[in-house]
Amino acid sequence: MSDITKQSLTELVDNIKNKKLSSLDVTKAFIERSEKSKELNVYITNDFTSALDKAKKFDQKPNLNLKLPGIPMAVKDLFCTKDVKTTAGSKILNNFVPTYESTVTENIWNEGAILLGKLNCDEFAMGSSNETSFFGNVQNPIDKDLVPGGSSGGSASAVAGQLTPITIGTDTGGSIRQPASFTGTVGLKPTYGSCSRYGIVAFASSLDQAGPMAQNVKDCALLQEVISTYDSKDSTSVDFKRNQYSKELTNNINGKKIGIPKEYRVDGMPKEIEDLWQKGIQYVKDCGAETIDISLPHTSYALPTYYIVAPAEASSNLARYDGVKYGFRAKGENLIDMYEKTRSEGFGAEVQRRIMIGTYVLSSGYYDAYYLKAQKVRKLIKNDFDEAYKKVDAILTPSTPSSAFKIGEKTNDPVSMYLNDIFTVPVNLAGLPGISIPAGHDSKGYPLGLQIIGKAFDEQNILNIAYAIEEKIDFKNKITDWWIK
């Protein structure tokens, strides 16, 4: 069977279950394509040799009752994988080999999947273009020298470029949804507390969530079903009744009320994005849903709030990197000098910038003016959503204010880089689920995404809406394999 790598996860699972394909066939196909795709720079670490061994072992005694039987899968290098190097895209963790497995990846391997390798990402997930990675930028399979978005840029490129059937990313302010939008793929950021954070390199603990990145909504639902579990090892994991997301998936969204927030019509938004949004509104109506104009009045305060809360939490989380027990160490004249040089040489510019912002907003004399203020505004932002959800079941917006941009285009201006996340950040601040699905192309032929935001723990509903309009949109990703000679 040729073109194994073109198949969706669901198709591959069916073909393995029906014994039309073996795990080894599938694993080999993705490894071969990955070997030919080095120019995309999606892998930080590959684990191909042991992946082939695991596939052979699976085929000898296949358990076909599992949800991901013998499916090879690469994951973002922010998830700790036992005995496989985990770098978080940073020099400071360049030689770190975890002694434990993250809960989310453990759930995936327990359902029969096989680790292909660890995918590039912005350093400590801080970035919107994958350009802050110590391991270099990632190419977008859509076009040469185009960013894949970030921070889960390697994950997005790997799925779009068919180097892994599906993957997982993490999303603190848009790091799953924005790269999904830039690469024509589907990305779900679950409700805070849905997926365990245990074993994920921490960035901003009150915002971080792991989630699936896939070629289509059904695959995305299947992986969400696998990774979302209650976990006593994460004190913020929530014990709620989880759906069988892929089995319960339906395109019947008749009578659903979908909110259209006027504040997302931001200044300077390209007409193409506005047009896409209007098309999205028509699609949900065609599916029998009703749209209602709503207001989320504090939307424009979300980014400034995020750039206090996230760096504050990051500065605290990243205090552990001191060059003592693991990771990179620089030489110093004494202990303090060693700490300062280790952190100065081990962290990249963006990470240092955010640690500095965070340290400043938490420092004596500034805490009330910045951090406390941001926590209060965060409450107002959450209240906006609570108010809106009295009237609607979900909210439809564009995923990003533009399509993917060129490598190097925004690296000198941190604020313009931050503006990329204007539509995704409020969702993290309110702890809600959001999904980005590809919905069209701009005039350059680059993909554009629509975002559906749900009520807390209502992943099934936004997956259903996404599934229904996916059918209407009938999006085809334009992958030319330009990087394969």
Choice from 79, 277, 385, 418 touching another protein (CB under 8 A): 418
* Of 54, 67, 76, 218, catalytic: 76
Of the residues 326, 401, 473, 479, which one makes contact with another protein according to CB under 8 A: 326
Where does this chain touch another protein (CB under 8 A) — which range of 56-64, 210-218, 233-241, 256-264? Answer: 233-241
Q: Given the rule CB under 8 A, which of 135-143, 251-259, 349-357, 442-450 is the region that contacts another protein?
A: 349-357
The binder of another protein chosen from 47, 77, 322, 458 (CB under 8 A):
322
Minimal distance, residue 450 CB to another protein, in Å: 25
- Could you say whether residue 430 binds another protein (CB under 8 A)? yes
The stretch among 66-74, 163-171, 388-396, 407-415 that binds another protein (CB under 8 A) is 407-415
**370 makes contact with another protein (CB under 8 A):** yes
Which of residues 270 and 414 has its CB atom nearest to another protein in the complex? 414
Assess whether 175 carries a catalytic annotation. yes
Among 17, 28, 56, 382, binds another protein (CB under 8 A): 382
Cβ proximity of 200 and 102 under 8 Å: yes
Among 2, 49, 60, 334, binds another protein (CB under 8 A): 334
Residues paired with 100 in a beta bridge: none
Residue 305 interacts with another protein (CB under 8 A)?
yes
Contact (Cβ atoms closer than 8 angstroms) between residue 88 and residue 73: no
Using CB under 8 A, pick the residue from 50, 375, 411, 477 that binds another protein: 375
Which residue in the set 15, 59, 94, 301 belongs to the binding site for another protein (CB under 8 A)? 301
Q: Which residue type does 166 have?
A: I
Annotated active-site residue 257? The verdict is no
In the complex, what is the shortest distance from the CB of residue 67 to another protein, in angstroms, rounded to a whole number? 25
- Cα(260)–Cα(470) distance, integer angstroms: 18
Under the binding rule (CB under 8 A), the answer on residue 339 touching another protein is yes
User: How many other CB atoms are found less than 10 A from the CB of residue 51?
Assistant: 23
Using DSSP bridges, classify how beta strands 186-189 and 209-214 pair: parallel, antiparallel or unpaired. antiparallel
| 291 vs 383, beta carbon nearer another protein | 383
Which residue in 175, 194, 402, 403 is the catalytic one?
175
Nearest distance from residue 370's CB to another protein, in Å? Answer: 7
HEC string of the chain?
A: CCCHHHCCHHHHHHHHHCCCCCHHHHHHHHHHHHHCCHHHCCEEEECHHHHHHHHHHHHHCCCCCCCCCCCEEEEECCECECCECCCCCCHHHCCCCCCCCCHHHHHHHHCCCEEEEEECCCHHHCCCCCCCCCCCCCCECCECCECCCCCCHHHHHHHHCCCCCCEEEEECCCCCHHHHHHHCCEEEECCCCCCCCCCECCCCCCCCEEEEEECCHHHHHHHHHHHCCCCCCCCCCCCCCCCCCCCCCCCCCCCCEEEEEHHHCCCCCCHHHHHHHHHHHHHHHHCCCEEEEECCCCHHHHHHHHHHHHHHHHHHHHHHCCCCCCCCCCCCCCHHHHHHHHHHHHCCHHHHHHHHHHHHHHCCCCCHHHHHHHHHHHHHHHHHHHHHCCCCCEEEEECCCCCCCECCCCCCCHHHHHHHHCCCHHHHHCCCCEEEEEEEECCCCCEEEEEEEECCCCHHHHHHHHHHHHHHHCCCCCCCCCCCC
Full strand arrangement of the beta sheet holding 43-46: 43-46, 114-119, 72-76
Which of 52/380 has CB closer to another protein? 380
Of the two residues 416 and 480, which places its CB atom closer to another protein in the complex? 416
Q: Which is nearer to another protein, 282 or 344 (CB)?
A: 344
> Binding of another protein at residue 333 (CB under 8 A)?
yes
Q: Give the footprint of another protein on residues 79-138 (CB under 8 A).
A: 95-97, 99-100
Return the number of the residue (112 or 431) whose C-beta is nearest another protein: 431
Which residue among the candidates 151, 152, 196, 403 is catalytic per the annotation?
151
Residue found under tokens 């300062």 = 340
**Shortest Cβ 7–another protein spacing (Å):** 37
From 5, 379, 472, 473, residue interacting with another protein (rule: CB under 8 A): 379
329 is a contact residue toward another protein (CB under 8 A): yes
Q: Is the CB of 32 or the CB of 337 nearer to another protein?
A: 337
User: Is 271 one of the annotated active-site residues of the chain?
Assistant: no
Instruction: List contacts with another protein (CB under 8 A).
Output: 95-97, 99-100, 192-193, 206-207, 232, 235-236, 238-239, 298, 300-301, 303-305, 307-308, 315, 319, 322-329, 332-341, 343-344, 347, 352-353, 355-357, 359-360, 363, 370, 372-380, 382, 413-415, 418, 430-431
The residues carrying an active-site annotation are 76, 151, 175
